[in-house]
Amino acid sequence: MTVTEKEAIGTSFSAGRRIVLAENERLLNSVQPDQWDRAGDLITSARAVFVIGNGRSGLAIQMAAMRLMHLGLQVHVAGEVTAPAVGAGDVLIAVSGSGTTGSVVGAADVAKKVGASVLAITTAPDSPLAQRADEVLVLPAADKQDHSASITSQYAGSLFEQSVLLASDALFQALWSNEDQTAERLWERHANIG
């Protein structure tokens, strides 16, 4: 079988790359920039930023948390042993594709109860998580249980998880552009042990 024949049936790396890039471009071009700008204001005005998500979504938002820390913000991963209590004036960035992940929705409940803001990143604008949020950032990717391939041909929640990282990196880039901080200044905050 030639490379062209493999690409035609989608079994080559090149075909996979085209799918991932095209789906992420389509998704990121469909988000509402003003919502992400408001999210940036909410994040930068918070006393401290907490992030929570499970699985690959959790890993993606942890990568975003690292970038926010590089900006000099106080950032914590909820559930880590060194994370302090969330409180009034803080913001919780809660990530769940379905918006129904129990631990993430529960964390949003706790945050709201103590006066923190909740920023939800989800595919489901009417979900329990979205209902608890002060700001909802909808990434129109398929829920991981959607196997219809009508929104994405990628497996499970891959498109959502990828777009969490890419949209968060775009937000970081915007926030950094609004700050008077050099790359060298950000690098001083980069982990240097471990």
The contacts of residue 92 (CB under 8 Å, 6+ apart) are: 50, 51, 52, 78, 86, 107, 108, 111, 116, 117, 118, 119
The contacts of residue 194 (CB under 8 Å, 6+ apart) are: none
> Is the Cβ–Cβ distance between 51 and 8 less than 8 Å?
no
Q: How far does Cα 103 stand from its chain's mean position?
A: 16
User: Rg of the chain over CA atoms, in angstroms?
Assistant: 18
For the chain, which residues make up each domain, given as ranges?
Answer: 1-30, 32-188
Report CA-CA distances (Å) from 94 to 79, 109, 118, 121: 12, 11, 7, 6
Burial of 5 from C-beta contacts in 10 A (0-12 / 13-18 / 19+): exposed
| From 5, 23, 161, 184, the catalytic residue | 161
Query: How far is Cα 161 from Cα 144, in angstroms, rounded to an integer?
Result: 10
Helices (H), 71-191: 102-113, 128-132, 158-177, 183-188
Q: How confident is the model at residue 103, as a pLDDT?
A: 97
- Buried/exposed 39-74: b ≥16 CB within 10 Å, e otherwise: beebbbebebbbbbbbebbbebbbebbbbbbbbebe
Low-confidence ranges of the chain (pLDDT < 70): 1-10, 143-147
Q: What is the pTM of this model?
A: 0.90
DSSP string, 52-67: EE-HHHHHHHHHHHHH
Q: How confident is the model at residue 156, as a pLDDT?
A: 80
Q: How confident is the model at residue 185, as a pLDDT?
A: 87
The residue count for the chain:
194
32-188: CATH number: 3.40.50.10490
DSSP-assigned letter for residue 189: T
DSSP-assigned letter for residue 31: S
* 161: annotated active-site residue: yes
pLDDT tens digits, one per residue of 42-95: 999 999 999 999 999 999 999 999 999 999 999 999 999 999 999 999 999 999
